[in-house]
Amino acid sequence: MAKKVAIVQSNYIPWKGYFDLLNLADEFILYDTAQYTKNDWRNRNRIKTPNGPAWLTIPVRHKHLSQTIKETRATNCIWRKKHWKTLQENYKKAPYFINYVDIFGSLLLGSRDMCLSVINNKFLYAIRDLLGSTTKITQSSDYALISGKTERIVSLCKQAGASEYISGPAAKSYLRQELFEEAGIKVSWMDYSGYPEYRQLFPPFVHEVSILDLLFNEGPKASKYMKSFGKTEHSRTSSSSDGGS
């Protein structure tokens, strides 16, 4: 039986493209045994404000270069109240903000988790369920890990029983596709281009913001502005060198 697998590092309240990639897969492996990278999406994301996109950032301890995402911890819990206040200030006039107050207010204010992976995962599961996706989410630490950048990805796919690996287009610069071919695994590239605009506060329109922006503005209709929900396989991924950035 065909099985699609995606392997991605966790992000803090990711953008809609991240959830499209998740929804395309039968199994979504969170690669939090990967090295933590500073000034990346692991602990921050953007929202819309009257002054343009602004960052919501979780302050974390970065002790050494080989530190993994799974080992990374928040420095405090003060950021939780700050993030919730910022969301309230900028989205209180969004049509569906009130619908999600309990969910996201609880995720931010009702928890004291310090592990970055745990924080990110709780948002990931909650938003997956809100969108109606049924993709199974697992952890790279659930599997045996071998050395080698592409070799490890191929090994994870084989252990998960994948017949197809769906990758973000940024990996084209380093992924050794011949190793997947040798393992009998097809590689497909996620295409992030061509997203439709939705009603959004504070023009001009910006796609590259947290999915919270889409949820707060479109509510239950959010998935209609995404690419993988209710679409055909051909329109969602490409198996050659085509793809967005």
Cβ(115)–Cβ(73) under 8 Å?
yes
Summarised one tens digit per residue, pLDDT across range 87-122 is 999 999 999 999 999 999 999 999 999 999 999 999
Per-residue pLDDT for 231 more than 70?
A: no
Backbone angles phi, psi at 45, to 5 degrees: -155, 175
The answer to the question of residue 111 being in a domain is yes
pLDDT for the residue 240: 34
Cβ neighbours of 84 (radius 10 Å): 17
Residue type, 201: L
- The residue behind tokens 């301890």 is 61
The answer to the question of residue 144 being in a domain is yes
The answer to the question of residue 26 being in a domain is yes
The answer to the question of residue 245 being in a domain is no
Residue type, 123: F
Find the domain containing 131 and state its range.
Answer: 4-238
Integer-rounded Cα radius of gyration of the chain? 18
In sequence order, what are the beta bridge partners of 15? 210
The answer to the question of residue 126 being in a domain is yes
* Residues written for the chain: 245
| Count of domains observed in the chain | 1
The answer to the question of residue 243 being in a domain is no
Summarised one tens digit per residue, pLDDT across range 152-207 is 999 999 999 999 999 999 999 999 999 999 999 999 999 999 999 999 999 999 99
Per-residue pLDDT for 242 more than 70?
A: no
The answer to the question of residue 226 being in a domain is yes
